[in-house]
Amino acid sequence: MVLGHVGSVAQHRDAETLRGLTPMKRYLLKRLLVAIPSLLIASLIVFTLPRLLPGDAVQLMLEEKAYGKDLDDLRHKLGLDRPVYTQY
């Protein structure tokens, strides 16, 4: 009776291995499927937060006496003059 149980476990394990879904592969696949959206959400948050802060980041980077041309040049250099979807 015990041998039959061990045999069925071995057969089940062989069937999983043949399909390529060993428990470790299944675990890694699940982790990967969770990690991808998590990283996407984290990158969207990091991209969005500075845009929600009050003030102008370029103005803060330059001196208070910076003129329009200097501000525009730095915005262009940093790519902040492009549409949001190309900045991301």
**Best CA proximity match to 62, nearest among 54, 52, 70:** 70
pLDDT value at residue 65: 76
Domains of the chain, residue spans = 2-82
What token pair was written down for 56? Answer: 């102008």
Put simply, whether the predicted model's pTM sits higher than 0.85 gets the answer: no
Q: What is the pLDDT along the chain (88 residues), one digit of tens a residue?
A: 555 555 565 555 655 555 778 888 889 999 999 999 999 999 999 999 988 988 888 888 887 777 788 889 989 999 988 998 898 8
Report which secondary-structure segment, H or E, holds 61: helix 57-61
pLDDT value at residue 15: 55
pLDDT value at residue 37: 96
